Amino acid sequence: MNSKTKYLLKNTYLYTISTISIRLIAFIMVPFYTSILTKEDYGTIDLIFTSINLLLPICTLSINHAVLRFTLEKDSDKKLIFSYALFVVFIGMVIVTGISNLIKSSTMFNAYRVLLLVLLFTNIIYIIISELTRGLEKIKVFVFGNILMVFISTILNIFTIAFLEYGIKGYIISYSIGYLFGILYYFFRIKAYKYITFGIFNRSSIIVFNQMLKYSLFLIPNSLFWWITNASDRYIILWNLGAEANAIYAVANKLPVIITSVMSIFIQAWFLSIVKEEKSSDRKKYYEVMFGNMVNFVFIVMSFLLVILKLFLKIYVSEHYYTAWQSGTFLLLSAGFNVLAAFIGNNYTVVKKNLGNMISTLFGALINIILNFILIPKLGLIGASFATYISYLLVVIYRIIDTKKFNERPYRFFEFKINNLISWILIQVQVFIIFRTDKLISIYNVIIFIIILIINKNFIVNIINLLQYYFNKLKEFKYKTRGE
């Protein structure tokens, strides 16, 4: 096994610990939230965090992405990078606070205005300092900090919601304190104070700031367009169908989150690898192989989750939320193509050509919002999820074509067209069967899943060989520790 693969697998392993721990906690907590909170409260919480995600790139100028990308470069000035990022977010915080004081809103958000500002600010600082930690390649520290933040937030959620009966207010307070603990952990663990300098005000240092802004500014609209694709449907649902429908839609997203969470493990590790391999002679071939494996894995996971979707929701949530399977079906497909879009999008980030990222996400956002306005009034939550699915599918197609200029052939399109096109068609058949049967698990969908496994048998064999390799390494380690 070569060094680049070992580096990728090592980081993947660490990110796996973080993501599985965090998602397991979130997974366990959903029945708690859906049983103790009203649909309206749960829908409001989902909308609050959706709105926070909208404000993040605006307040930060997406400078957090520049922190990670530039810190990864060996000869970069880490002090200037981190200090300029703090300077940008400080200005952003002042502006947002001023605007919030001027705007008097009668909406549900006004009741939590101060708490929401605290949540937003702690979230921003947490993101900046965690990206510095990743950029310094202190992945173990990054992983533990993530787990610590979520664990504290969850414990406080149980206390404030179940015992103090604070409801929405308790949820916001819990996450604000969780982010604060995460910030303090990273700050002292990586000695972040060593990366703060007043040299940012020197005229000679401004070139670093200009490079960071040039890199991150295109990511602001990019983040906003992704937000439109991911979250604008929540507001149109609220407008047309009400907060309770929004709560059902939030539950429908829980299973798709498994796909994005599992695959985000690899994508985070992958990003570190391709930055290191940017000037490698075999980078293009390496990328092609990894993208092929990614497509195979995503389609297999999508197919399997479609098999268990109804049964999962029947067991996992109360009967009031069971209809979430309808929109959840297309959201599963959306999640899969979201992952592929993110994987391909890393090409723009590595070569620092984020205009392509922005244009492709704009394209997807426009398609999404048009379809939302057309389909939600007619099809309800199914229309919202279908609009998201089509948007991501088109973004993937666009990026495959557009990134050829960086990689010549980022993926052998003929192989994608034959091998994976068959898998994709079979997945659409699974969707049709789900809507045509009342059974919790359809034998026909199980058969289709097995066929997809057979189609992707080479990928399965590679995974088995990889697991066997690590099993043998584990046995060797045990023998050594026993002195044999």
Return the exposure string of 124-159: e unless at least 16 CB atoms fall within 10 Å of the residue's CB, then b.
bbbbbbbbbbbbbebbebbbbbbbbbbebbbebbee
Residue 307 pLDDT level (bands cut at 50, 70, 90) = very high
* Global confidence as pTM: 0.65
* Domain identity same for 372 and 454: yes
Last-in-domain residue among 182, 217, 252:
217
Is 192 a domain residue? yes
Per-residue pLDDT tens over the stretch 261-277: 666 666 666 565 656 55
**Mean pLDDT score of the chain, rounded to an integer?**
78
Calpha distance 424→414 (Å, rounded): 15
- 164 backbone dihedrals φ, ψ, rounded to 5°: -85, -15
Give me the residue label for tokens 């060989």.
Answer: 465
* Domain identity same for 203 and 260: no
DSSP annotation string for 221-285: HHHHHHHHHHHHHHHHHHHHH-HHHHHHHHHHTHHHHHHHHHHHHHHHHHHHHHHHTTT-TTHHH
* Domain identity same for 197 and 295: no
C-beta separation of 162 from 36 below 8 A: yes
Is 330 a domain residue? yes
Is 391 a domain residue? yes
Q: Which domain holds residue 77?
A: 37-217
C-beta separation of 166 from 41 below 8 A: no
* Domain identity same for 148 and 65: yes
Residue 58 pLDDT level (bands cut at 50, 70, 90) = confident
**According to the model, what pLDDT value does residue 484 have?**
46
* Domain identity same for 210 and 246: no
* Domain identity same for 252 and 163: no
Residue 386 pLDDT level (bands cut at 50, 70, 90) = very high
Cα angle vertex 359, ends 356, 364, to 5°?
Answer: 125
* Domain identity same for 157 and 301: no
Residues counted in the chain: 484
**According to the model, what pLDDT value does residue 198 have?**
84
* Domain identity same for 284 and 376: yes
Task: Give me the mean pLDDT over the 238-242 stretch.
Answer: 77
* Domain identity same for 86 and 185: yes
Residue 199 pLDDT level (bands cut at 50, 70, 90) = confident
Q: Which of 231-240, 257-266, 276-285, 459-468 has the lowest mean pLDDT?
A: 276-285
Q: Does 161 have pLDDT greater than 70?
A: yes
* Domain identity same for 194 and 275: no
